[in-house]
Structure 1
Amino acid sequence: MKLLKKKHKPLHINDITIVDDDKLKKAITAAALGNAIEWFDFGVYGFLATVLGRIFFPGSSPTVQMIAALATFAVPFLVRPLGGIFFGMLGDKYGRQKILATTIVIMTIATFSIGLIPSYETAGLFAPLLLLLCKLAQGFSVGGEYSGAAIFVAEYAPDRKRGFLGSWLDFGSIAGFVLGAGVVVLISSIVGNEHMGEWGWRLPFFLALPLGLVGLHLRHQLEETPAFQKHVEAMEKESKDNLQDRPKLSFMEVATKYSKSFAICVGLVLVTNITYYVLLVYMPNYLSGSLHYSEDHGLLIIIAIMTGMLFVQPFVGLTSDKIGRKPFIIAGSIGLFLLSYPAFWLIQSDSVGLIFIGLLILAILLNCLIGVMASILPALFPTHVRYSALAISFNISIIIAGFTPAFVAWLVSLTQNLNMPAFYLMAISFIGLATAFTMPETANKPLRGATPTASDKEEAKEILSQHFDTIEQKVEELDETIAELEKKRQNLVDQHPKLD
């Protein structure tokens, strides 16, 4: 029986996708804004954790109230994998744009509804239960939000600019966090601490509604990504039945069939998001609850740090397009191990300047990690299962990361050791290093299973020329290897009387 050899067609200039600049800008803006709304809630909730603890969990000590409020923040992460599986399968079947428009609606309504929940004094146990329901709805929608947004940006971005353009997604995260924190500080300064605890805390959550409507309008106007459109066209050519019978991935299939990509995704998400939650969610409560530092001063310092991160974020993404993504993961992980303890030593001082420097160290290390995450993750999986596989992998690992604020607060309370957050970051730095040394370099390469993408015709020609040069180089290397093997073979043949 003859084996049929699949003949690979040469790459042609028409096979390279050229992205329309206006569509690209709209895609980046819409994706980043949706992410900003997600992290606006995280920022508001994290910075109001002490107030929310008193409102929804009265009768306990301040420490227990804070831990309870942070635990409520963490519980929704348990349902994120369910949201990831649900929206991931739909995203691979019906497209990325439709799902992103859906997730932003659910997330906006859930965030807005938190502001409507009565206090414990008014509704009793129903108050924390309603809060939990809203957080669970957020968790379900967010399960498909970040993965879908990262994929949307990555599939639109030209190969040589994916790091820079992908960095704007988490620019939106940080901006949303800054906005949330800034709104809390502004409202608190206007209404005062007493009124903030009575009704002022509701106002930041109400702002999610107009933000969400703007985000929905932008996402509704978007077209589907070029990579997914090409994938659908290819399936239509093969068989129209393929469009209805798309692959449906389970967690076990992702963990086995794409085991290496799954492990890399989990490792990267863990080291990045644990650092993120320690710095941006737990730290405000650490400064006020554990160090008894002025809440207003602590919030202002962290807002200043996050504002600085906004400027560093695109620089990291841009540089990663030049030198690669791996150097940043390595630098960030080594930095966490060597500098976390000194950073917390500075944070524990009574000097505003030293506290600022300690937080700045952690912020720069976080920028190294988060600046490249959105460009790495979508490149790990092929187009036809990218949404499902990434959503499952991302949200399985985010469960652990999501409990970081509550877990670290519990560790500090249990041990009475204020350096426990530093030790925790030092421990997870090993996960980051292991991930960096095993992950493939994805900079300036097409997404897995996709054709190259360029900014314009000239860049497409350069990519095509570079592609052919690479093939020629590999063929030359193979020819040299074959020639050396032929010499070795001949030497062995010459030593045997019956071989010729």
Structure 2
Amino acid sequence: MTDSAMGAPTTDQRALDKRSRLVILASSVGTVIEWYDFYLYGSLAAIITAQFFSGVNETTGYIFALMAFAAGFAVRPFGAVFFGRLGDLWGRKNTFLVTMLLMGLSTFVVGLLPSYAAIGIAAPIILVVMRLVQGLALGGEYGGAATYVAEHAPKGKRGFFTSFIQITATAGLVLSLLVILSVRLTVGEEAFAAWGWRIPFLVSILLLGVSLWIRLKLAESPSFQKMKAEGKGSSTPLKDSFLKWPNLKLVLIALVGLTAGQAVIWYTGQFYALFFLERVMKVDSTLVYVLLAIALIAASPFFIFWGWLSDKVGRKPVILAGCLLAALTYFPLFQALTTAANPALAEATASQPVTIYADPADCNLQFDPVGKTVFNQSCDLAKSYIAKAGVNYTNLAAPAGTVAEVRIGDSVVYPSFRGEALAPAEFATARTTWETGLGSALATAGYPSKADSEQVNKPMVVLILFILGFYVTMVYGPIAAALVEMFPTNIRYTSMSLPYHIGNGWFGGFLPTTAFAMVAATGNIFYGLWYPIIVAVVTVVLGFLLVKEGKDVDLNA
């Protein structure tokens, strides 16, 4: 009796299984490293602010750092268009080899870049240029890897196969957190802030070498080879993708009905949660990295589960269910996260609420693009300090000409002062004295200057972060398969890359900046959540109405 008759794998089957494992391994390892490079910046936003944006005030500097982080996302759709075209003309493998090389080298340059103190304005300019190169590279990488794996996947297993690509984004973030944490613990906080932060960027050159070596072993995808052999390739993939209405309509449906909602859930569950714990809750950065890494590692197997389940029930119901669950539960989850991460702050907010009583005309939007404006009006002074302290507050309009007051609970009224009439040196002294006094008043009312690590309810924080990560796995696990299935082979790389990177690069990438600005403008630490909730709900509605299920589509048809 033959092996085949007994049910044992044939030589061809074993070769196919071996090739499939290599495809998944090579694509996933390379993509993990690209995400690692890309997310180092976001994980080190506070230090990046100090190193490269020290020429402006602290609030503006942090917004600038977030904008530079978002700049990498802003250009991702352009990278998707440029490299997507190359991928449809030149091949999937060759294109994502180029994108990986660009990503690794630009990350390495950031590790060598002198600070603002050393070379002035050239430092942030070069930093932003490197972020733009990273964004362009990532715009080309993801579509190539997802398309490549999907085109190798056996029938009925595309969701399962591509879910290994989907896990790489979280794996890259976790890897960046673990490397940063390891370096921090090894060199100490002071050395890490001074020079140790460069090490994770420099290490990327070694990871790049390993990834290139693995990926060079790959062959071109069978669907692309078949298309070329049959002469069915597109000579104008950009025109065919975006200037012909039937395909452009699919691109728009993919954006509003799938990737926009998926993107905001991904970035809320991982990056906004990180920013919220560090910047708003004032939890020690090292502790945040540990807790977030634990939660993400625990949630990561569900990428594979949801990818596998989407092969059975479809991509659409899994993704839209994740968007809806997140939209319905974000407010209670982040409120619970506040209580668990900084119980003293939560208690003070409930028992001693802060109100800023001020003339609205005295309050300005405190964002200074050139770092030269001095915000010295009484309302600006109050809001600037309260926002920097991570304290939730409400606004109460006062009559015109009233000097702003910070009201703490029912009994403490702490007046601001008019700084516009003072000389610069006198203003600086008055502001320091005033802020010291307000800080003491807040401390007396129970507001902590930072979270007490001993009081952090670590199991509860991990549980909440796990739930946020669980939503991420629902929306992200099946998305690659869903996008690949929407478009024909000759324009697949180009067509699927653009809605993915507009969704993730613009809707998702700008989420931390947008949410942080919404919080700073309103004083409500939860107000920024409205952004992902609204986008997710729109995706649920439009996705339900417009997206067609594609799990049974033949990619070679």
> Normalized against structure 1, the TM-score is what?
0.81
**Which residue matches 1:470?**
none
- Superposed, which structure 2 residues align to 1:212-251 within 5 Å? 212-235=208-231, 246-250=235-239
Matched, 1:429 2:532: no
Q: Could you list the runs of 4 or more consecutive aligned residues of structure 1 that deviate by over 4 angstroms after TM superposition?
A: none
**Which residue matches 1:301?**
291
**Which residue matches 1:123?**
119
Q: Secondary structure at the match of 2:476?
A: helix
Q: Which amino acid aligns with 1:378?
A: V
* Offset of residue 256 of structure 1: 2.5
Deviations 1:443-487 (A, max 9, x none): 24322xx24xxxxxxxxxxxxxxxxxxxxxxxxxxxxxxxxxxxx
- Superposed, which structure 2 residues align to 1:62-73 within 5 Å? 62-73=58-69
Which deviates the most, 319-328 or 253-262? 253-262
Matched, 1:95 2:91: yes
Which deviates the most, 426-435 or 177-186? 426-435
Q: Distance in 1 between matches of 2:39 and 2:132?
A: 17
Q: Distance in 2 between matches of 1:72 and 1:171?
A: 25
**Which residue matches 2:497?**
391
Q: Distance in 2 between matches of 1:355 and 1:435?
A: 33
The answer to whether the 8 A contact 2:36-2:176 is kept is yes
**Which residue matches 1:269?**
259
Q: Which amino acid aligns with 1:263?
A: L
* Offset of residue 434 of structure 1: 2.6
**Which residue matches 1:280?**
270
**Which residue matches 1:493?**
none
Deviations 1:94-149 (A, max 9, x none): 11111011111111101111101001110111111111111111111111111111
**Which residue matches 2:479?**
373
Alpha carbons of 1:434 and 1:34: their partners in 2 closer, same or farther (altered >3 Å)? Answer: farther
Q: Which amino acid aligns with 1:150?
A: A
Q: Which amino acid aligns with 1:324?
A: G
Matched, 1:253 2:253: no
Q: Which amino acid aligns with 2:115?
A: S
**Which residue matches 1:460?**
none
Q: Distance in 1 between matches of 2:15 and 2:478?
A: 21
- Superposed, which structure 2 residues align to 1:316-327 within 5 Å? 316-327=306-317
> Normalized against structure 2, the TM-score is what?
0.73
- Superposed, which structure 2 residues align to 1:336-375 within 5 Å? 336-349=326-339, 350=343, 351-375=457-481
Q: Which amino acid aligns with 1:333?
A: C
**Which residue matches 2:184?**
188
Q: Distance in 2 between matches of 1:392 and 1:314?
A: 24
Identity %: 32
The answer to whether the 8 A contact 1:160-1:445 is kept is no
Q: Which amino acid aligns with 1:310?
A: S
Alpha carbons of 1:251 and 1:400: their partners in 2 closer, same or farther (altered >3 Å)? Answer: farther
* Offset of residue 309 of structure 1: 2.1
Q: Distance in 1 between matches of 2:22 and 2:332?
A: 42
User: Unpaired runs of 5+ in structure 2?
Assistant: 1-12, 344-456
Alpha carbons of 1:342 and 1:202: their partners in 2 closer, same or farther (altered >3 Å)? Answer: same
The answer to whether the 8 A contact 2:146-2:480 is kept is yes
Alpha carbons of 1:279 and 1:333: their partners in 2 closer, same or farther (altered >3 Å)? Answer: closer
Q: Distance in 1 between matches of 2:533 and 2:39?
A: 24
Q: Which amino acid aligns with 2:302?
A: V
User: What is the count of residue pairs matched by the alignment?
Assistant: 426
Matched, 1:105 2:101: yes
RMSD, aligned CA: 2.0
Alpha carbons of 1:97 and 1:252: their partners in 2 closer, same or farther (altered >3 Å)? Answer: closer
Q: Distance in 1 between matches of 2:220 and 2:542?
A: 31
The answer to whether the 8 A contact 2:108-2:201 is kept is yes
**Which residue matches 2:362?**
none
Deviations 1:137-165 (A, max 9, x none): 11111111111111011111112111111
**Which residue matches 1:445?**
553
The answer to whether the 8 A contact 2:37-2:103 is kept is no
* Offset of residue 287 of structure 1: 0.9
The answer to whether the 8 A contact 1:19-1:156 is kept is no
Q: Distance in 2 between matches of 1:359 and 1:421?
A: 17
Q: Which amino acid aligns with 1:321?
A: D
Deviations 1:389-443 (A, max 9, x none): 1223333332232211111111111111111233222212213313431212122
Match of 2:75 among 73, 76, 79: 79
Q: Which amino acid aligns with 1:395?
A: H
Between Structure 1 and Structure 2, which shows a larger proportion of helix residues? 1
Q: Distance in 2 between matches of 1:427 and 1:416?
A: 20
**Which residue matches 1:483?**
none
- Superposed, which structure 2 residues align to 1:158-177 within 5 Å? 158-177=154-173
Q: Which amino acid aligns with 1:116?
A: L
Alpha carbons of 1:159 and 1:151: their partners in 2 closer, same or farther (altered >3 Å)? Answer: same
Q: Secondary structure at the match of 1:443?
A: coil
The answer to whether the 8 A contact 1:46-1:284 is kept is no
Q: Distance in 2 between matches of 1:289 and 1:262?
A: 36
Matched, 1:404 2:511: yes
* Offset of residue 20 of structure 1: 1.9
Which deviates the most, 68-77 or 54-63? 54-63
* Offset of residue 89 of structure 1: 1.4
Alpha carbons of 1:382 and 1:18: their partners in 2 closer, same or farther (altered >3 Å)? Answer: farther
Q: Which amino acid aligns with 2:534?
A: A
Q: Distance in 2 between matches of 1:188 and 1:300?
A: 12
Q: Secondary structure at the match of 1:381?
A: coil
Match of 1:146 among 133, 142, 145: 142
* Offset of residue 281 of structure 1: 2.2
Alpha carbons of 1:330 and 1:140: their partners in 2 closer, same or farther (altered >3 Å)? Answer: closer
Which deviates the most, 221-230 or 346-355? 346-355
